[in-house]
């Protein structure tokens, strides 16, 4: 939903740029990324103040935004980011 609303970035280049511009609030990262890429993006998130969630469901991350194969999604809207985090951690997402 966030991607369709224009509140998300897809792919490593877009996410890296969004993080450096401090636009990304939450980075969704597929667990199948290489160790080096994961370290790089976790470091960027720490440096620029974004949260990270590692997603394990195969192909679900890309399919969720209509772009199969995408392994990084940066959420740029704080409201969407909070809802995703709450749902991921077992909350209702409406707090």
What class is the 8-88 domain? alpha beta
Average pLDDT, the chain: 85
Return phi, psi of residue 26, to 5°. -145, 130
Closest CA to 34 of 10, 12, 8, 52: 12
pTM of the model: 0.83
Closest CA to 23 of 54, 44, 1: 44
- The ranges assigned to domains in the chain are 8-88
Given a contact cutoff of 8 angstroms between Cβ atoms, the answer to whether 83 and 26 are in contact is no
Closest CA to 42 of 55, 54, 52, 56: 52
Given a contact cutoff of 8 angstroms between Cβ atoms, the answer to whether 62 and 68 are in contact is yes
Q: Give tens-digit pLDDT for 39-52.
A: 999 999 999 999 99
Region of poorest pLDDT, from 4-8, 15-19, 54-58 = 4-8
């Amino acid at each position: 939903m966030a991607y369709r609303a224009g509140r998300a970035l897809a792919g490593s280049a877009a996410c890296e740029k969004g993080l450096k511009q401090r636009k990304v609030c939450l980075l969704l990262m597929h667990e199948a990324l290489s160790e080096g890429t994961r370290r790089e993006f976790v470091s960027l998130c720490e440096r620029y103040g974004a949260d990270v969630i590692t997603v394990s469901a195969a192909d679900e991350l890309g399919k969720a935004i209509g772009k199969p194969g995408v392994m990084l999604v940066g959420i740029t809207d704080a409201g969407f980011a909070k809802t995703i985090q709450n749902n991921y951690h077992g909350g209702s997402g409406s707090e």
